[in-house]
Chain A
Amino acid sequence: MTETSLYVLQQLINGLTIGSTYALIAIGYTMVYGIIGMINFAHGEVYMIGTYTAFITIIGLLTMGVGSLPIVMLLALMTAIIISSTYGYAIERVAYRPLRGGPRLIPLITAIGMSIFLQNYIRLAQGSRDLAMPALVSGGIQFGDPAVFEVSISWMQLIIWVVTLISMTALALFISRSRLGRACRACAQDLKMTNLLGIDTNRIIALTFVIGAALAAVAGVLLGLYYGTINPYIGFMAGLKAFTAAVLGGIGSIPGAMLGGLILGVTEALTAAFFPSEYKDVVAFSLLVLILLFRPTGLLGKPEVEKV
């Protein structure tokens, strides 16, 4: 293979890695939107909090002398999921539930306020500096001709793919097979009717927030370990990217969010490969604008008709 094609292959691998984490965060947006039709602007901050808790747990365990890597990562994942889910639940309970049924603009403004609040809350509690952690997992597989271009897949990238795949499968099974999953689908179809049929819709909505937050926490742990640095402002950009992914795939559709995340990640990586990397955020937003213009329902979404 030529150098360019190997280079593109490497970028594809990097793009799929980032893209699968975008997909994890995007599911939180898309599920909430599918049921109550609001953009949970604070979702990016939940992801950021997940990253912080993971870092705290990992460093805490390492100082306590727990050396086994799988245990450390598993515990970090679990703590991050618990704390982030609690945040997701609390945000819904405090800031969104009292406003349900009102005009659409109002919960959106609350969500922005919540996002600013959480960002600064972490900034005050943990400091605004970048925190860097030495890589826990290093090494990987190399292939390709060393003389031309060597393509590498790090172990961390493999872990990201595997964990994402497991989480996505678990979610798909939960939504399609379990009783609660069926209730979720029913809520997405018709909230009022579901309520009439005796399902506590408030609990189902809270559950969607919790699931979304848990997946965002998984993404947070993975990306935190992958990049190795965190600051209180990472949630903003990640949230925007994930939202773009959700819209790209068709907001309200879970497979759409997965597809959208992967496409966005790959597009970004390829842009970064051939243009100055500062412009990769511009590409993501331009993609968002273009989709909304030409196909507002996204790739897999259903058109929404506004009725009186």
Chain B
Amino acid sequence: MQRALFPALFAAGVTFLLTCLVIGVRLEQEGPNLTVVGADAETWSWIGFAVIVVFLFQLFQQPLSRLKQRLPSPDVTGLLPDHKLRARLRPWLIALVVVGLFVWPFMVSRGAVDLATLTLIYVMLGLGLNIVVGFAGLLDLGYVAFYAVGAYTYALLSEYYGLSFWVCLPIAGLLAATFGCILGFPVLRLRGDYLAIVTLGFGEIIRILLNNWTNVTGGPNGIGGIEKPSLFGLEFSRRASEGGQTFHEFFGISYNSSHKVIFLYLVAVLLVLLTIYVINRIQRMPIGRAWEALREDEIACRSLGLNPTVIKLSAFTMGASFAGFAGCFFAARQGFISPESFTFIESAIILAIVVLGGMGSQLGVILAAIAMTILPELAREFQEYRMLMFGGVMVLMMLWRPQGLLPMKRPHLELKTS
């Protein structure tokens, strides 16, 4: 106890220094003058409270950790149905979820469907980044750049050449993939952490270019009035454009603006299902195996005759193309895009989704994307603290569960000797 006293005092002092000036005092701007305002008594009592908590925690750390060891940890693995039963149930469950995804928008409000569409965009981005970060183990901090490339491809092609969404979707994916390839080719020879910074720099470069290339991209004002997707040429607007036909006229039903929202949602669902299917297939192909092998041990891979650069490049390109698709859809859904939507924070959110879900685990990423988009919407008063929590969650996850909430599991056999 006495030995713990000094570290505890030290930790309490550190806590006080961390909080006293930054939280306890506030700068206020009044016209040209800056003034310092002391925080109210409540804030100071919180600071005091934090200092005392840290002090006591440090003081009793040893007895606490001993107590924790003695507590039995609950065994949750026994609660799940056994492996064979799960394998049999799996296709039925998937079918049920897919049917549910297509049916539920007709029963709920417009806002909920709209939020679900947004969530699906993040699911797609998360799955795409998961290829790069989760499978191949390459930390990409500029993922949003490919998202921006996809979005601007559609916006510009639609504005200047009048191309439709369905034509632009593959183009956006291809162009984003090309960008990924061009960027990846030189930088993928670098070690992991350099790669992170270079991709971050690339993301910033793209954003700055979009912001300043005013006569093409509209600069900070962005591009508005982007055409919405159509269903085999049927538009979802109140009145048809010249030579076009609207959805409600074709089917002889009255106009309802929620048709458009539901249609967009269904397009998103299809895109996400396609993404999941493609990634699932690729993961089981030799190239997918090679990604994971490379993540685990690059030197071993090289000695087995795999070319690390080509493998990394394929992961990078593949991830970028999904961001391109997502970006194209994002532009179509919003109808307006500006460089504001493609900041580093967006990259960090997508990364947080991948990290939280468990790197490499698809189900985990999907659930994390849902949680990350829906929770802030549900708790509006927490909106202010959203980014603070994202940062905190990223740190805490890495400290406690670096493998994520739902880590990737792989069937494996073990040799039993005896």
A binding-site residues for B, Cβ under 8 Å? 38-39, 49, 52-53, 55-57, 59-60, 63, 79, 82-83, 86-87, 89-90, 94-95, 98-99, 102-110, 112-122, 124-127, 129, 131-134, 236, 240, 243-244, 247, 276, 278-279, 281-282, 285-286, 288-289, 292-293, 296, 304, 306, 308
Contact = CB atoms under 8 A, between A and B. Distances in A.
Given A53-B21, A286-B205, A106 B141 contact: no
B392 interface: yes
B387 A288 contact: no
Nearest to A276: B212
B240 interface: no
Contacts of A114: 391, 395
Interface stretch (B111-119, B193-201, B317-325): B193-201
Nearest 4 A/B pairs, CB to CB: A113-B394, A117-B391, A116-B391, A285-B201
A274 to B, nearest CB: 16
B395 A296 contact: no
Interface of B: 14, 17-18, 21-23, 25-27, 29, 32-36, 137, 139, 141, 186-187, 190-194, 196-198, 200-202, 204-205, 208-209, 211-212, 298-299, 344-345, 348, 351-352, 355, 384-385, 387-388, 390-395, 397-399, 402
B22 A52 contact: yes
A157 to B, nearest CB: 23
Given A53-B21, A247-B194, A286-B205, A109 B27 contact: no
A293 B187 contact: yes
A100 B196 CA distance: 19
A113 B402 contact: no
5 contacts: A79-B21, A107-B398, A109-B394, A120-B388, A306-B298
Contacts of B298: 306
A191 B348 CA distance: 32
A126 B394 contact: no
B402 A125 contact: no
A112 B208 contact: no
Contacts of A89: 14
A115 B391 contact: yes
A206 to B, nearest CB: 11
Contacts of A59: 27, 34-36
Contacts of A132: 29, 32, 34
Q: Which of B193, B352, B385 has the most CB of A within 10 A?
A: B193
B73 to A, nearest CB: 19
Contacts of A278: 208, 211-212
B292 to A, nearest CB: 14
Contact of B197 (A39, A52, A53, A126): A39
A97 to B, nearest CB: 10
A113 B29 CA distance: 29
Nearest to A95: B395
Nearest to B402: A106
